[in-house]
Amino acid sequence: MLNKFIFPILIFTFILNIQSSLAQKALTIGEEHILHSDILDQDRTILVGLPRNYDAEKKYPVLYLLDGRRYFLMAHGVIDFLEGRAQKIPEIILVSIPNIYRNTDLTPVYETDDPNARLIEYSGGAENFLKFIKDELQPFINSNYSSNDNNILFGHSVAGLFATYAFLNEPELFDSYITSDPSLWYGEGMMINKFSANKIAFQKIEKSIYMTQIDRSKDEEDIMSRPQADFMAILDELPNIRASKVLITGESHGTVPLKSLYQGLPFIFKDYEAEFGY
């Protein structure tokens, strides 16, 4: 009587063993580091995505991704596709910086007596966050990974504001910037005012800047478009800055980062595409 149950049990056990074996094969697309910052007095999580064929003997550009927890998987996939399938960009090391207090990290100090001014709660920590990137994060990445000192910064919305702040305050840190629908209205346009007052200092600086915006033609309370246009108008006056502002239709403020990165990286690496003829 028991023999008729032996074969089904053996089959079931065999299937379980196969499933157990398959479950042990994890797909790894990144490395996580906990980096203590004396500047921020915090432990900061850093996510690093490497090219499929990463070779420590080679040198790679580095894309620093703000809002890193939110966009790490998206950016990793975009980079992998543009490099491997489309062959429009070189292999890139991806460094994602998740936030602890997003508003604090990404906004500069803005003080005003205007009761009608648009304020952001817990804002004003951009100076220290930029010091963290300069003095702690970049040295860590350069010591542990094979980078070639070609650094790109990507930021969306308020993170796009921070990318602009980094460009104006520490232009040597990054070679290129992708700002996705940046919140340049912040501080009543303080980034535009600072840039306009100091644009002579940027006459000889060579950078690539790719800015995207969404269609707000039907938005009667549009606070984004005019500051973006004003900032780009100043960039256009500088002979050594290669800049482009692109209107992306059919997307919202929340969905535009994917296309911003997908279109922005080939713009940054235009010479790579021309050199290899892809």
Model pLDDT, residue 22: 56
Model pLDDT, residue 276: 53
- Write out pLDDT tens, residues 170-203: 999 999 999 999 999 999 999 999 999 999 999 9
Model pLDDT, residue 278: 43
Which among 270, 107, 89 has a CA at the least distance from the CA of 191?
Answer: 107
Q: How many helices (H) and strands (E) does the chain have?
A: 10, 8
Q: What are the sequence ranges of the domains in the chain?
A: 28-276
Under 8 Å CB-to-CB from 81, ≥6 apart: which residues? none
Q: In which residue ranges of the chain is pLDDT below 70?
A: 1-23, 273-278
Q: In whole angstroms, what is the distance from residue 189 CA to residue 213 CA?
A: 16
Tokens of 137: 């994060």
Sign, CA dihedral 274-167-253-233, equals negative
CATH of 28-276, one of 3.90.10.10, 3.40.630.10, 3.40.50.1820, 3.40.640.10: 3.40.50.1820
Per the CB < 8 A criterion, the answer to whether 80 and 107 are in contact is: no
Model pLDDT, residue 3: 53
pTM over 0.95: no
